[in-house]
Amino acid sequence: MIPIPVFAGETVAIFGLGRSGLPAARALTAGGARVRVWDDDAERRAVAAAEGFALADLGAVDLREFAALVLAPGVPLTHPRPHPIVERARAAGVEVIGDIELFARAIAAAPEHRRPKVVAITGTNGKSTTTALLGHMLLEVGRDVRVGGNIGVGVLDLEDMHGGAVYVLELSSYQLDLTSGLRPDVAIILNISPDHLDRHGGMEGYVAAKKRILFNQGRGDSAVIGVDDAWCQQICTEITAANKRTTWPISARRAMGRGVYALQGVLYDATEGRVAEVADLTRARSLPGRHNWQNAAAAYAAARALGLSSSDAVEGLMSFPGLAHRMENVGSIGKVRFINDSKATNAEAARQAMSAYPRFHWIAGGRAKAGGIDSLADLYGAIAKAYLVGEASAEFAAALQGKAPYVEAGTVEAAVAAAFADARRLGEDVIVLFSPACASFDQYSDFEARGDAFRAAVHALAAPRVKEATG
């Protein structure tokens, strides 16, 4: 846990008691603050009360008694409209912040010798893989690395800071909206495409949230920016012109005179006045496809910015074991290989996985995002057959009509069984790709639960065959 002393002797309100809220309550209490907590969910309130935290219905009390309101990132801050607690806090003149801002203030308040290095990673797609990958690379060379934020452990539940530590943090646009004081030593923006537009009032608000990761950087800091989309190209141009920090452009689509780029699976380093071929990423089994080559380029650039040698950075890339629910190979039954890409919660994320295979059986569906799968039309020809699940079934069926064979399977379990039955009849190496292009909330609590259901369905199919083989 990271104690937060900046509100010592004051009272702080915390709304939302999930991954960020309870750790914030512990951290503020350890730093000498008084906390009052609330969540609309009675079960979460009960957990907090069992830990000894004082409950206070923040919709009813006078908020002027609080020095700040710490808001869970899942609670609407501005759009589609602010949550009532946000409106009440603003009316009372109480600042609204998140757990990442508490972390930033703790660093700012620490003496110089105790301040750690911070790498902050955002983007529409690839954040989790890049965060885990960079953490692995640093761990492999013996650095004291702590990985968290929007992945795994909430930031304030990580081990306390010291001058030799490196925090590698995945940050969502929701978290960045609640953050004003963070100054990362290395900031990474991988890519930007439309997502969460309802929460940011449109594309401009979404891009503005992502750009907050760069706000406080100055001389000696580094920014790693993907330049494979127009939004990030513009950001890279702006910050390079400002000349406040070292800029590392990255690409998985084109060669560059300066930066780090990957073409056809080969990673190139063009940061020291010459172009050097540094790695064959096609040999990195856990980093298949062009989107993962962009992730690898970003992690490599960040590692170099943190002082790793090129050879050490490459060794870390090649030994990365991969991340669950992101192009995860969950096993094979005969010649049929199953890939769990449950993290693909929008069409652009699904495109990354679909582009990695020339032909595949596709399991997709859930709660559709705006635009559905229309943007994937150029990939329909690679679909051997689609198996549609969840709320989006009818919508996706209409999109695929006459363009790719499909069946409305309904559930993930039924889709896995149907896909396997069709795939095994081909008598050749076949990919069954679970890349939903949808949110999970129609049938599951989150993408992890959805991916676990897919994995369990595959293992259930495999179990009788293992029993038959062993007698």
Active site residues: 127, 150, 196
430, β-bridge pairs: 336
* Phi, psi values for residue 131, rounded to 5°: -65, -50
Cα torsion 301, 304, 306, 311 to 10°: value is: 130
CA 46 to chain centre: 29
CA dist 217 and 9 (Å) reads: 31
Helices then strands, each counted (H, E), the chain: 15, 22
DSSP for residue 87: H
Residues in the chain, total: 471
Neighbours of 467 (CB within 10 A): 9
126 three-state secondary structure: coil
> Is 124 within 8 Å of 193 (Cβ atoms)?
yes
Q: Is the dihedral of CA 365, 367, 372, 376 positive or negative?
A: negative
Q: How many CB atoms lie within 10 A of CB 42?
A: 8
Which DSSP state fits 49? H
- Whether 162 contacts 114, CB under 8 Å: yes
* Radius of gyration in angstroms for the set of CA atoms belonging to the chain, rounded to a whole number: 23
- In angstroms, the CA 174 to CA 72 distance is 9
Distances (CA, A) of 470 to 106, 330, 465: 58, 21, 9
Residue 347 tokens, joined: 């069409």
Would you state the torsion angle of the CA atoms of residues 214, 218, 219, 221, taken in this order, to the nearest 10 degrees?
Answer: -40
Nearest to 189, CA basis, from 143, 229, 245: 229
Q: What are the backbone dihedrals phi and psi of residue 191, each rounded to the nearest 5 degrees, phi first?
A: -170, 160
β-pairing, 222-226 vs 246-251, is parallel
Q: Which residues make Cβ contacts (< 8 Å) with residue 338, sequence separation at least 6?
A: 329, 330, 331, 332, 416, 432, 434, 454, 458
User: What does the alpha-carbon distance between residue 110 and residue 145 come to, in Å, rounded to a whole number?
Assistant: 18
DSSP 153: B
